[in-house]
């Protein structure tokens, strides 16, 4: 048998083996003590002086290659047996398909709600100055939010933004009313990482500035948001609140979706606060040159909305990359 024909047959038989036992028989047939290739190697001494180096080189190269092919095939057969794939009638395993993070899914849902009401999406830097994060938003120098225990300050005097409201200031500096914007993004505060607090979190803030904007517009806008997010029958209530950059200020409370207002371990009193809002403080509008205009603003933590909507009792679950937890939020299931 010529060497190239022997090589062709040997490669084919090795590839077609279905079990380790069959592979061993092929190995013996070609590389065993009385194997076909072994016999050729033993007969090299009978060849002419010119043929010996040529045949010897090709035959030894082939022996090395067949040894390697057999080792690879043996490994593949052992792995297949371990995985139970020798039985070709077994169904194949479906590939794992990834899905968006629950906070991303909810953020996009909230953003789309406000886009449907005419809001535009804007973004800004996460590293801010004291002016944009505090001063321009009517936060006095003695306000506790400026303290080191609440804000991450950098060595150059800048800081990690504590809310996305600075984006509103940057937009008002560059654009004239009317404005209707929302600013989603990541924020940072010096908080202990526990079931209800996180040093980093997602926030979405909104701003509407025009000549005839009122608290009625604010309440109507946020009622639509709450009912599209938590259900059309959700009961909504606004209670007085305080924020340095809005006056008057309010908090939006909804009826607890888990006990429908009866009181439970989630709400304790039948209602849950989901965001802060109010009319933009006159000082903020004056600083931006908007003295002839009125506006309202609101801000919400995406994690808080998600915890309420999906009945999650620990904010840390959103950041632990637990696939078993994250797989529950396949978009088709929400």
169 shares its domain with 237: yes
Per-residue pLDDT band for 97 (boundaries 50, 70, 90) equals confident
Residue 258 lies in a domain: yes
pLDDT at 270: 76
Instruction: Please count the other Cβ atoms lying within 10 Å of the Cβ belonging to residue 143.
Output: 12
| Per-chain mean pLDDT for the chain | 86
pTM confidence score: 0.68
Residue 148 lies in a domain: yes
260 shares its domain with 220: yes
Per-residue pLDDT band for 207 (boundaries 50, 70, 90) equals very high
Those residues whose C-beta lies under 8 Å from the C-beta of residue 314, and which sit 6 or more positions away, are: 195
74 shares its domain with 150: no
125 shares its domain with 237: yes
Q: Domain range holding 122?
A: 102-333
- Pick the closest to residue 238 from 282, 275, 206, 281 (CA basis): 275
Residue 191 lies in a domain: yes
pLDDT tens for 32-64 read: 888 888 888 888 778 887 787 877 888 888 888
pLDDT tens for 295-315 read: 999 999 999 999 888 888 888
Count of structural domains within the chain: 2
pLDDT at 268: 64
pLDDT tens for 233-248 read: 888 899 999 888 999 9
Adjacent-strand bridge partners of 236: 254
pLDDT tens for 124-158 read: 999 999 999 999 998 888 877 677 568 899 999 99
281 shares its domain with 169: yes
Residue 150 lies in a domain: yes
Both structure tokens of 14: 């090795």
């Amino acid at each position: 048998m010529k060497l190239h024909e022997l090589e062709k047959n040997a490669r084919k038989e090795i590839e077609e083996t279905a079990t380790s036992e069959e592979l061993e028989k092929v190995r013996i047939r070609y590389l065993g003590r009385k194997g076909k290739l072994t016999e050729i190697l033993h007969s090299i001494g009978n060849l002419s002086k010119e043929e010996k180096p040529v045949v010897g080189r090709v035959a030894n190269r082939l022996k090395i290659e067949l040894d390697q092919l057999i080792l690879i095939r043996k490994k593949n057969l052992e792995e297949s047996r371990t995985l139970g794939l020798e039985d070709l009638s077994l169904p194949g395993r479906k590939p794992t398909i990834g899905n968006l993070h629950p906070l991303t899914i909810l953020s996009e849902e909230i953003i789309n709600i406000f886009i449907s009401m005419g809001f535009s999406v804007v973004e800004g830097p996460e590293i801010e100055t004291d002016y944009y994060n505090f001063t321009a938003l009517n936060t006095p120098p003695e306000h506790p939010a400026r303290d080191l225990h609440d804000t991450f300050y950098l060595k150059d005097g800048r800081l990690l933004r504590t809310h996305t409201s600075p984006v509103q200031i940057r937009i008002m500096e560059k654009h004239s009313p009317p404005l209707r914007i929302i600013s989603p993004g990541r924020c940072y505060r010096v908080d202990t990482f526990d079931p209800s607090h996180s040093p980093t979190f997602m926030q979405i803030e909104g701003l509407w500035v025009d000549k005839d904007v009122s608290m009625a517009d604010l309440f109507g806008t946020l009622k639509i948001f709450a009912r599209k997010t938590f259900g059309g029958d959700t009961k909504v209530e606004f209670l007085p609140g305080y924020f340095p950059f809005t006056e008057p200020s309010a908090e939006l409370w909804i009826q607890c979706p888990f006990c429908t207002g009866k009181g439970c371990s989630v709400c304790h009193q039948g209602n849950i606060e989901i965001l802060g809002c109010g009319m933009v403080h006159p000082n903020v509008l004056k600083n931006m040159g908007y003295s002839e205009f009125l506006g309202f603003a609101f801000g919400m933590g995406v994690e808080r909305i998600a915890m309420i909507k999906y009945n999650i009792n620990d904010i840390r679950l959103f950041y632990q990359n637990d696939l078993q937890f994250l797989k529950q939020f396949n978009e088709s299931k929400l």
